[in-house]
Structure 1
Amino acid sequence: MNETTQTQGSLHSEARIAHGALHRLRQDLFVDAFAFRPLPPLEDAKISRWVPWLPGRLRRWACWLPHLTVGFFSVCVLLAMLASSGPGRLHGLLSAAFAVPVAAAPLLTLFRPVGAYWLALCAFVVGGSVDAVVDPWGDVFGNGAFPALLAVMVLVVLRSRPRLAAEMWLVTFAAAGVIMLLTGSGLGQLPPTAFFCAVVLISAAAVRAWREERRQVVETQSVTEEERTRRTLLEERALIARELHDVVAHHMSVIAIQAEAAPYRVKDTPPELATSFATIRENAVAALAELRRILGVVRSADPDAFAESDPEAPQPTLGNLDSLLDSVRGAGLVVEAVVTGSPRPLPQGVELSAYRIVQEGLSNALRHSPGADARVEISYVLGGLGVRIVNGAPSRLAKPSPGAGHGVLGMRERVQMLGGEMTAEHTEDGGFEVAAFIPVANTTGETKAGGARA
């Protein structure tokens, strides 16, 4: 009883496997066999990688190289079959009529790959049957249709999924075996020819699988890089939000304290004025509470972002630039600082962003240009603040850095947040330059000073 049940289960499993194989065969070779699938031209990146020495004018035509190659092969097949036609006008016409579909099949793979296989297979079956009938001792694979069929199968595998190699191999040699049996030809040529074709098709399938795997790896790397860039941008925005919280919270606290103390500085304060000051204080306190709530959300995504630093320490400004320069000099970077214009108090957000830009620029110089000198320029101009960090070419090989470019992304985010402009590019001597301008609204004191200097 158990043996019968196991036998039935084994037969059922084998039937399911066979049904699944036939279903895949039907989906691959019969459903939408003549669907229009044009081969796209080569991408410019591939052309530049394969033939970087090719002039730009010829590079526009190089993208059609696969199409031209297949077309040239089809023309060669047509000429070869016409040249091998026997004497006689009727025989020549029949050979020409047979050569046209054989030569057209490789060309058809550029537009309808599976349909091209069926066209080549039909030409092979017809040609092999005729040759076997005319010459019983002849070779079914001896006519020109079989090399064209093999080339078509290779092109179809390279353009489609690798499993088509096994499916087309089975269909082709099943048809060849049937022709040999019906025409009485010997099966002696079938095993070696089938083995040779299997090696060719397996090689083509391996190339196709390698190309597909490489494409997926490139796509994965692109997605990973985009995700890394997006994460870096979000982290930088979170950092900016935390720093701005400290700046804004300080001013809001001052407003709340002054609004609370103002009524006590005036004798006989009118009730309306006291109410106004109380409203100002309530709004300031509410704004502080909202800021703390938003900061809590930002910090919850990365609670250990400032684990190594004092969260209660004041945010750095340009006044702390000397200590920053001393620290990078201690790390081995030769840096020079130049300040032009008249230093003046700037909004804390501007000073904090300028300090972070200088900090990141010097960090990039240490990381990517070891042994190079650096120069920091701070320009106080009417209407804004200019920051420039430039370093020379590295004197030794830099270690690879997986986060290359993300520091520049953070600097650009800071400058854009303040409505400024920034450039980051390589210099002619092999170094790197970061230049930013952060606009600052003119205050009354600046206007007077500017008028006095004029």
Structure 2
Amino acid sequence: MSWTALLPVREALRGLAHPSHAPTALLADSPKRWRRALPYVVVLALTASLLPSTIAVLTDVYGMNAGLAGAIATGSAAPLLLIAHRPLQAWWIVFPVDIVCALNLAGLDARDNTAWPWPPPIIVGYLFLMLALALREPRRTLVTVWLLTGGVGYVLGQLAPDRGNGTHVLLFVLSGVVLVIGGALRERGDVQRRLAEQETISEAERAQRTLLEERARIARELHDVVAHHMSVITVQADSAPYRISGLPEAAQEEFATIASSARESLAEMRRLLAVLRSDGSEGERAPQPGLGRVQHLVEATVRAGVPAELSLPAGLGDLPQAVDLSAYRIVQEALANVVRHAPGAATRVSVTADDGYLTVLVVNGPAAEPVPALETTGTGHGLVGMRERVRLTGGSLDTGPLPDGGFRVAARMPLTTVPDDVKDPR
């Protein structure tokens, strides 16, 4: 026989020598404490019941010496304390002890109706050990253990054919059934764990994709804001020599350079905008809205069945375009959320400007009636978009549920220049 033919046997024996799992207890990852403690409770109860019952059966039924019966019972029952986290190591102790027990019983006087080579307590403890192995070890190890169990049982049955009553066949069949059931349970748990991990990864990827999509949308909208100012700079720089008489030649060249740089920047922005708008969206080329159109939002919300009120002071003045656009989008998204998730809820929209900040507050109460919301699921784009818009203006956003069942959205954005460290959404 070649060494190549013996490779499967060698790999199987190596699997018996080295457990495939870390020495962690069954159900160690369970979030509930009672589930984590359940394996220890089971093995303690199993050992406490098998130890005295094995001694009693070996001494009373089989007539074994009490000292030897106690040693065999301890060797076959006490290692079961390990099956919660080291079942393979427990098998290396229990299986040889069970063989020693069978050999000793073969030399005793036979009695009627006595099971041999495996007494009933030995069979019960071994089946629990097989279940623990099936929940932890790979299929190759389980098959090896099962074949060794059947092979040793067959050999013992041939040593004393007149004593054998089929318990070696019974243990072989029952252990196979237990291994199949335990292996199926383990594989099912592995599949569920992988699915949970994949869902977690997918959720993180979905959140990241949502963030990137919202930032791209904001970048497309802010293009119009920045392009306006760059166009003004270009026009002013080009017309400065004609509007201001007596400019020295150096100043005229400087204005020409400024205009040229502004035109180059506009060209770069248009190329970037072509990439961002590669989805073919045409609606976003319209002029961007601002707080001047919030009244229309509130009126549309009222027509949708939501009693909404607006507090918008007159004379806000010229707001920075980024702040004006962000405020409008925040109110728009907040009101849309009320319509979707709290239909009929009383809503109040308030916009104030003081101490150099623009404050936007949208508060809604609970739904007017306990009716299903128009939408029960969402993509999470709304709050992500609000947060990104406020962050790009250098402001802060506070959102969350209210004690009465309503919801609150509060944004505070500065009316001055946005700091450099918050302009880049990265």
Provide TM-score, normalisation by structure 1: 0.80
Alignment partners' CA distance in 2, 1:400 and 1:202: 45
Mapped pair 1:356 → 2:329: yes
- Which of 388, 393, 397 aligns to 2:366? It is 393
SS at match of 1:141: coil
Gaps of 5+ in 2: 419-426
Contact persistence 1:105–1:152 (CA under 8 A): no
Letter of the structure 1 residue corresponding to residue 15 of structure 2: D
- Which of 31, 35, 38 aligns to 2:24? It is 38
Contact persistence 2:345–2:366 (CA under 8 A): yes
Mapped pair 1:231 → 2:209: yes
1:91-116 deviation line (CA, Å, top 9, x unaligned): 33322322223223222223323222
- Which of 355, 374, 379 aligns to 2:347? It is 374
SS at match of 2:107: helix
Which residue of structure 1 aligns with residue 398 of structure 2? 423
Gaps of 5+ in 1: 1-15, 48-58, 444-454
Contact persistence 2:214–2:381 (CA under 8 A): no
- Which of 380, 385, 408 aligns to 2:383? It is 408
**Percent identical residues:** 37
The more displaced of 187-196 and 244-253 is 187-196
1:144-203 deviation line (CA, Å, top 9, x unaligned): 332212111111222344665444333322221222123334363344443333333322
- Which of 72, 77, 80 aligns to 1:106? It is 80
Contact persistence 2:398–2:410 (CA under 8 A): yes
Mapped pair 1:338 → 2:311: yes
- Which of 411, 415, 437 aligns to 2:412? It is 437
| 1:38-187 pair list within 5 angstroms | 38-39=24-25, 42-43=28-29, 46-47=31-32, 63-84=36-57, 86=59, 91-135=65-109, 138-161=115-138, 164-184=141-161, 185-186=163-164
| 1:249-264 pair list within 5 angstroms | 249-264=227-242
Aligned length: 407
Cα 1:62–1:113 change in 2 (3 A) is: closer
Letter of the structure 2 residue corresponding to residue 194 of structure 1: F
**How many Å apart are 1:319 and its aligned residue?**
0.9
| 1:313-332 pair list within 5 angstroms | 313-332=286-305
Which residue of structure 1 aligns with residue 422 of structure 2? none
Contact persistence 2:87–2:133 (CA under 8 A): yes
**How many Å apart are 1:41 and its aligned residue?**
6.4
Q: RCO (CA 8 Å, sep 6+): is it higher in 1 or 2?
A: 2
Contact persistence 1:162–1:206 (CA under 8 A): no
1:369-421 deviation line (CA, Å, top 9, x unaligned): 23323222212121211112222223311255443433212211222222222
Cα 1:414–1:148 change in 2 (3 A) is: same
Alignment partners' CA distance in 2, 1:155 and 1:141: 20
Letter of the structure 2 residue corresponding to residue 248 of structure 1: V
Cα 1:275–1:216 change in 2 (3 A) is: same
Cα 1:138–1:84 change in 2 (3 A) is: closer
CA RMSD of aligned residues (A): 3.0
Alignment partners' CA distance in 2, 1:205 and 1:189: 24
Cα 1:135–1:314 change in 2 (3 A) is: farther
1:312-367 deviation line (CA, Å, top 9, x unaligned): 31111111112222333333333221235852321111111111111111121122
Alignment partners' CA distance in 1, 2:315 and 2:231: 30
Letter of the structure 2 residue corresponding to residue 66 of structure 1: P
Contact persistence 1:424–1:435 (CA under 8 A): yes
Alignment partners' CA distance in 2, 1:398 and 1:27: 60
